[in-house]
Structure 1
Amino acid sequence: MMNLTNILALLGGLFVIGGIAWFFWGPRKGSVRATSTSRGYQEAMILVKGSYTPDVIVVQHGKPVRFNFRREEAAACSEMVVLSHFGKSARLPTGETIPVEFLPEQPGEYEFSCQMGMLRGKIIVE
């Protein structure tokens, strides 16, 4: 039979597991539409600090995209961003803004992430 200590430990463990699951797979913040530049790019600035902000970016297909990643942390996980569907990746030195350019040819939803898959974002191509 379980005593009170065991029940509290079990509930605490379930709470921690639920919190971790919510952090990594929970609901996303609202999306942001990339802005058009005079050079024809759809551009967005993405802050890397514990997550990607914004983490959902809307772009149009057939027009070049430039995401400017700025990493403001030293966590090993965020050292690199990977846009696997577009065949792009980049090292993100702390405190520097690094552009990643690609051409989304097909409408759809595509993920980008850190090399470990812990930080995740989504590109919605219309």
Structure 2
Amino acid sequence: MTLQEYLKQHQMKLSTFAKTYNLDYHGLFRVKQGAVTRDEAIKRVFEQLNIINDGKQKVGEPNTSFLSQECVCIHCEPAGDIYCYYRHHLQEIEEYLLQQNIPYYVRQAKGYWLVKYDKEAL
């Protein structure tokens, strides 16, 4: 079963699932939208609950843009991490954070950029 099916079957919201299993909401949101997670904690919980997170199971592309997904997460969480694997995603996120006057910094890692933001750091 997928994460979406699990949530529906157990009449649970994504935020409740994240808190119950102490998992990253941002990562779960992306999984719910069709992404395949690299987060080991999420993978362990999914394995225990028999939740499938295989991109091959999903037909087509998620209908929500990268920026739209991240904006939802930024709106819901006072602070967090955003992983950008493409330069244009990094630029979109930086433009959005600057527009919203949200403090952030970027670290470059091997193969991706990590954007850390904190709305309460004003």
Tell me whether the two structures share a fold, i.e. TM-score over 0.5.
no
Could you say which structure has the larger radius of gyration? Answer: 1
Higher strand share: 1
Higher relative contact order (CA 8 A, sep 6+): 1
- TM-score using structure 2 length: 0.30
